[in-house]
């Protein structure tokens, strides 16, 4: 077929020129990643750059090369910082080149993982099977790759609501306003958001006090369920966390499993941070009981270092899963042959219809690195957390504020003789100056009123020397602040 | 700092070797896209390939080059087909190289768009402002890039529920089971799913009959609202569709806006397919009234051809939007300086906390191509739909089954003398054979009991000659089937 080369499309007008630009991008991107340590982990965006983000919708074309120059000048120098080894804020993965390669091909091939009979669908099925293996779920369980932990938890809780309400809540809607989920006070906020959106209201998630190690207090949980039942409420689900975002605490999943069995409740595990640590000998024993969950939420863009986004939900009862989300109108009716065939389409197991081929980066990465290497990376982070903990414990001006959970260390500078308010102000300033001087990007949180520097050590690039540098900076900046 | 080169990470062990592989991928990917016409649009996956997707979790590493070979051998030959110009099934974009470049850098930089003070956040703000310009929404409106139309609609309907319930539904949960959304019988199924998940049940979305052109019947809508109010139900929102997935019909948005004003209802537009067509002179007049919506859902991976995923929701009342989704626990508390500063974080406007930098591909593409080129691409698809419609009308053995809406053509082969069941079987077989012979990938739907071949013409690569070829195949395969 003859194609008119003046026929306007969104394809490159000059393929060779466009390809040359992409090759240049590859060189630059590899240089960027390989030498990430030499780049500033974070810096303030100056006003003249900020102003470039305020221009109106571009109506006319520009050269792709010029657009790329804008990216280099105005975006690249002002990163979030999480690719850098010294990023310990919030909880994120660092990305990988193999993940980038997978994402690149996902964008080129650009299939829609809503469903259908094509290879990408099989790749996602395989990836989900692998994740079941990791979490020791049966092959009969169902699963879905989702945007991240928030959506994974949302999906698990939605199925829990529909299964345990005791009536056809999907078609009839919430009849009584008395369904209750349970979790510890340390549960991630996305679970609260999920329960609110599911129509139960904030009050539909009861938060149970924690033990000194920040794991859920099992006795208080039992007591609350008993009281609620006596008061006419209907407990439907317990959310166990592994581990918590503040301190990396892991709930006693085995005890929660037992309660759920006894009380006929759905057992959901928010394992956004820690479920993938089933790959690590160091953490796996602490996750005992996860195998008995009805649903597990995982994040693969955290401790598996996939480029955003990659979350996963697994549901043991595949029928309940499908019954919550499947909806097939005439324009999605399936065929027995061809592209539109196949029994289980991913769109029948979640909120999304169109879905990116996010499985490909996971598939390529797990094949290239092998699961055991990921396990070793996780174990090393745990060791590094204890290394940092020792540095803190060995210095009289520093103190741990919580037990080290998994890879999370919460500590503060405390040279003595300061009030709580003063200590909070000093530590807040230390954290900000470490960031503004581009030394590192520690996180922070507040535990029992104490502001602390919180390091979530999830980088696969970080070394012990980075923590030496952190401690040195905390102490010197702390002293500067006190003197000034 | 000295890095031990034996230090195990997930980075390439040999950067030059890895970079060489990525360069090869670029050459192959450009070749793939440039010569997409020469590749089979779809083909069945043979059993020996299917079996490769059944192997267990890989524990040990493999060479990246070998993994890539598996991708080439087992994934690339069995695509969904939507990059190909002759893909007219469901409703998808075809992807673009500029979108791929944006996605590539999103994976390399790998920021988390949950929030924070970094350049990526500013890029997404700018992209959302551009989309507001396109839909003629005020600058004060809020918006969020989401996974796609399903999540965009879900988000709009969640805000509608919370604003119009008349009590603090977010904290208290659904008190009465009487809230009602309205849409036409042609509304996309994701809206039903959203209303079910929001706790209202399937019955919470009332479907109103359509006119002959498949747009919502305004009189029936008014009548239903009146009846429902008389029966103690509480109407809260009307969903207008632009356009419908079956036939591309556009509801009378101006009349819906008027009803919503009069009845104090939320006005949501499901514009997943057509809202972006505000860029096209040919469609824009038909969308009159969209400017008055309280919320609009768009898909940028449909008629803007972004690689998956890219949807967008715009909400006129930014406070209501934030009040529905914002939740800031201590570990997400903001700072006044540094990375964790900034007033509005994207995670406060949606279900996701961690979010991919999906704005970058939109930003780079709109800069490179300019909005007017996208408008021309949309207009050309509309012209092509009418071209195909003419081919159908000019042939005595073919008939249109619905009026052409936007870029969607529904027709069937009907040589005369056949029953409805026979015609349905023949047309189904024609569609499947066109697919299995890798001639094209038309879609299909059923309208008033009639199975029809449905072409959603959204490719930026398709030419009129492709439709000549389609018609030729429909007729010849149709004759073959009848003779056999």
Mutate to test the interface with A, among B51, B136, B172, B196 (most CBs of A within 10 A): B196
Do A370 and B59 make contact, defined as CB atoms within 8 angstroms?
yes
User: For residue B81, is it left (φ>0), alpha (ψ between -120 and 50) or beta?
Assistant: left
Measured between CA atoms, the residue of chain B closest to residue A58 is B370
Taken in order B335, B337, B339, B343, is the CA torsion positive or negative?
A: positive
pLDDT value of position A4: 60
Q: Which residues of A, range 148-167, sit inside 8 Å of B by Cβ?
A: 148-151, 154, 158
Q: Report how far residue B46's alpha carbon sits from residue B56's, in angstroms, rounded to the nearest whole number.
A: 20
Do A150 and B352 make contact, defined as CB atoms within 8 angstroms?
yes
Give yes or no for A106 touching B (CB within 8 A).
yes
Residues of B in contact with A247 (CB under 8 A): none
pLDDT value of position A336: 86
Q: Report how far residue A329's alpha carbon sits from residue B270's, in angstroms, rounded to the nearest whole number.
A: 17
Q: How many CB pairs under 8 A join A and B?
A: 543
Say whether pLDDT at A101 is over 90.
yes
Say whether pLDDT at A67 is over 80.
yes
Give the tokens for residue B175.
Answer: 């008190």
Mutate to test the interface with A, among B49, B80, B408 (most CBs of A within 10 A): B80
Q: List Cβ<8 Å contacts ≥24 apart for A64-70.
A: A64/A12, A64/A18, A64/A21, A64/B98, A64/B101, A64/B364, A64/B368, A65/A21, A67/B98, A67/B364, A67/B367, A67/B368, A68/A21, A68/A24, A68/A25, A68/B101, A68/B364, A70/B367
Contact present, B240 and B292 (Cβ < 8 Å): no
Do B436 and A89 make contact, defined as CB atoms within 8 angstroms?
no
Sheet containing strand B441-447, edge to edge, reads B87-88, B441-447, B450-456, B408-413, B398-400
Q: Give the residue from B236, B318, B310 showing the smallest Cα distance to B272.
A: B310
pLDDT value of position B2: 44
Measured between CA atoms, the residue of chain B closest to residue A432 is B338
DSSP tag of A74: I
pLDDT value of position B89: 94
Compute how many other C-beta atoms are within 10 angstroms of the C-beta atom of residue A304: 30
The pLDDT tens digits for A377-421 are 999 999 999 999 999 999 999 999 999 999 999 999 999 999 999
pLDDT value of position A1: 44
The distance between the two most distant Cα atoms of chain A, rounded to a whole number of Å, is: 83
When pLDDT is averaged across residues A89-106 and rounded to a whole number, the result is 96
Q: Give the residue from A151, A374, A387 showing the smallest Cα distance to A283.
A: A374
When pLDDT is averaged across residues B93-106 and rounded to a whole number, the result is 97
When pLDDT is averaged across residues B236-250 and rounded to a whole number, the result is 97
Q: Report how far residue B388's alpha carbon sits from residue B453's, in angstroms, rounded to the nearest whole number.
A: 12
Residues of A in contact with B117 (CB under 8 A): 44-45
Q: Which residues of B, range 266-305, sit inside 8 Å of A by Cβ?
A: 299, 301, 305
Residues of A in contact with B308 (CB under 8 A): 106, 110-113, 354-357
Give yes or no for B430 touching A (CB within 8 A).
no
pLDDT confidence tier of residue A2, bands split at 50, 70 and 90: very low
Calculate the CA B371 to chain-centre distance. 18
Residue B484 to chain A, least CA–CA distance (Å): 20
Q: Report how far residue A79's alpha carbon sits from residue A86's, in angstroms, rounded to the nearest whole number.
A: 13
Say whether pLDDT at B1 is over 60.
no
Q: Report how far residue B26's alpha carbon sits from residue B328's, in angstroms, rounded to the nearest whole number.
A: 42
Give yes or no for B56 touching A (CB within 8 A).
yes
Say whether pLDDT at A3 is over 70.
no
Residues of A in contact with B80 (CB under 8 A): 109, 111-112, 116, 118, 120, 339
Average pLDDT value over all residues in chain B: 96
Task: Please name the residues in contact with A298: beta carbons below 8 A apart, sequence gap of 6 or more.
Answer: A131, A135, A149, A152, A271, A272, A275, A276, A311, A312, A313, A314
% of residues, chain B, pLDDT over 90: 95
Give yes or no for A248 touching B (CB within 8 A).
no
pLDDT value of position B6: 78
Sheet containing strand A234-241, edge to edge, reads A142-146, A311-315, A295-299, A266-271, A234-241, A179-184, A205-208
Residue A85 to chain B, least CA–CA distance (Å): 11
Map residue A163 onto helix, strand or coil: helix
The pLDDT tens digits for A300-327 are 999 999 999 999 999 999 999 999 999 9
Q: What angle, rounded to 10 degrees, do the helices at A15-34 and B15-34 form? A: 150
Residue B267 to chain A, least CA–CA distance (Å): 20
Give yes or no for B8 touching A (CB within 8 A).
yes
Do B78 and A119 make contact, defined as CB atoms within 8 angstroms?
yes
Do B80 and A332 make contact, defined as CB atoms within 8 angstroms?
no
Is the model more confident about B297 or about B4?
B297
Helix (H) or strand (E) holding A191: helix A189-197
Say whether pLDDT at B5 is over 80.
no
pLDDT value of position B332: 75
pLDDT confidence tier of residue B297, bands split at 50, 70 and 90: very high
Say whether pLDDT at B259 is over 90.
yes
Average pLDDT value over all residues in chain A: 96
pLDDT value of position A158: 98
Is the model more confident about B388 or about A5?
B388
Give yes or no for B222 touching A (CB within 8 A).
no
When pLDDT is averaged across residues A133-146 and rounded to a whole number, the result is 98
When pLDDT is averaged across residues B391-398 and rounded to a whole number, the result is 98
Say whether pLDDT at B216 is over 70.
yes
Give yes or no for A33 touching B (CB within 8 A).
yes
Give yes or no for B449 touching A (CB within 8 A).
no
Contact present, B208 and B247 (Cβ < 8 Å): no
Phi (first) and psi of residue B319, to 5 degrees: -70, -45
Show the DSSP H helices in B35-77 as ranges: 47-52, 64-70
Residue A197 to chain B, least CA–CA distance (Å): 6
Of the candidates B58, B68, B122, the beta carbon closest to that of A366 is on: B58
Calculate the CA A1 to chain-centre distance. 48
Say whether pLDDT at A28 is over 90.
yes
Give yes or no for A69 touching B (CB within 8 A).
no
Contact present, B88 and B455 (Cβ < 8 Å): yes
Compute how many other C-beta atoms are within 10 angstroms of the C-beta atom of residue B419: 8
Give yes or no for B424 touching A (CB within 8 A).
no
Query: So what's the ipTM on this one?
Result: 0.97
Give yes or no for B60 touching A (CB within 8 A).
yes
Residues of A in contact with B311 (CB under 8 A): 354
Give yes or no for B19 touching A (CB within 8 A).
yes
Residues of B in contact with A129 (CB under 8 A): 56-57
Of the candidates B56, B62, B366, the beta carbon closest to that of A57 is on: B366
Give yes or no for A482 touching B (CB within 8 A).
no
pLDDT value of position A484: 82
Residue A73 to chain B, least CA–CA distance (Å): 11
Say whether pLDDT at A32 is over 80.
yes
Residues of A in contact with B70 (CB under 8 A): 367
Measured between CA atoms, the residue of chain A closest to residue B155 is A197
When pLDDT is averaged across residues A180-198 and rounded to a whole number, the result is 98
pTM of this structure: 0.97
Q: How many residues does chain B have?
A: 484
Q: Report how far residue B377's alpha carbon sits from residue B366's, in angstroms, rounded to the nearest whole number.
A: 13
Show the DSSP H helices in A338-443 as ranges: 359-369, 371-393, 420-436
Number of H helices and E strands in chain B, helices first, is 15, 12
Give yes or no for B445 touching A (CB within 8 A).
yes
% of residues, chain A, pLDDT over 90: 95
Of the candidates A4, A53, A134, the beta carbon closest to that of B123 is on: A53
Mutate to test the interface with A, among B60, B333, B367 (most CBs of A within 10 A): B367
Mutate to test the interface with A, among B116, B272, B334, B339 (most CBs of A within 10 A): B339
């Amino acid at each position: 077929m003859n194609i008119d080369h003046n026929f306007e499309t969104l394809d490159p007008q000059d393929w060779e020129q466009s390809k040359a630009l992409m090759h240049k991008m590859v060189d630059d991107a590899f240089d960027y990643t390989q030498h990430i340590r030499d780049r500033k982990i974070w810096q303030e965006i100056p006003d003249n750059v900020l102003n470039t983000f305020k221009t109106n919708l571009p109506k006319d074309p520009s050269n792709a090369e010029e657009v790329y120059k804008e990216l280099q000048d105005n975006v690249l120098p002002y990163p979030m910082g999480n690719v850098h080894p010294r990023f310990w804020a919030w909880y994120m993965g660092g990305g990988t080149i193999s993940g980038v390669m997978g994402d690149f091909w996902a964008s080129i091939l650009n299939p829609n993982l809503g469903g259908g009979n094509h290879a990408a669908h099989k790749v996602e099925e395989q990836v989900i099977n692998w994740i079941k293996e990791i979490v020791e779920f049966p092959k009969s369980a169902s699963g879905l790759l989702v945007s991240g932990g928030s959506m994974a938890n949302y999906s698990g809780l939605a199925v829990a609501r529909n299964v345990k309400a005791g009536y056809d809540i999907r078609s009839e809607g919430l009849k009584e306003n008395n369904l209750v989920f349970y979790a510890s006070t340390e549960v991630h906020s996305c679970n609260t958001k999920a329960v609110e959106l599911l129509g139960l209201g904030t009050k539909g998630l009861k938060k149970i006090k924690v033990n000194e190690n920040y794991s859920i207090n099992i006795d208080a949980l039992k007591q609350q369920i008993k009281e609620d039942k006596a008061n006419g409420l209907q407990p439907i689900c317990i959310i166990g966390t592994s581990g918590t975002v503040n301190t990396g605490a892991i709930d006693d999943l085995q005890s929660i499993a037992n309660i759920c069995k006894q009380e006929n409740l759905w057992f959901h595990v928010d394992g956004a941070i820690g479920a993938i640590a089933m790959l690590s000998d160091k953490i796996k024993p602490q996750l005992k009981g996860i195998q008995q969950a009805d649903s597990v939420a995982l994040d693969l863009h955290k401790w598996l270092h996939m480029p955003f986004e990659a979350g996963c939900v697994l549901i043991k009862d595949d029928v309940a899963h499908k019954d919550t989300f499947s909806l097939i109108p005439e324009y999605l009716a399936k065929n027995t042959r061809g592209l539109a065939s196949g029994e289980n389409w991913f769109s029948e197991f979640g909120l999304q219809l169109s879905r990116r081929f996010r499985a490909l980066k996971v598939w390529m990465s797990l094949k290239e690195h092998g699961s055991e290497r990921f396990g070793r990376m996780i174990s090393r982070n745990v060791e590094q957390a204890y290394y940092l903990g020792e540095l803190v414990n060995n210095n009289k001006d520093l103190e741990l504020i919580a037990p080290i959970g998994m890879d999370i260390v919460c500590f503060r500078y405390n040279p003595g003789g300061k009030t709580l308010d003063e200590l909070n102000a000093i530590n807040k300033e230390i954290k900000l100056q470490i960031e503004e001087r581009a030394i590192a990007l520690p996180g922070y949180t507040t535990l029992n009123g104490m502001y602390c520097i919180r390091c979530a050590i999830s980088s696969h690039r970080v070394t012990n020397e980075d923590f030496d540098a952190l401690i040195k900076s905390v102490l010197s900046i702390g002293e500067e602040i006190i003197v000034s």
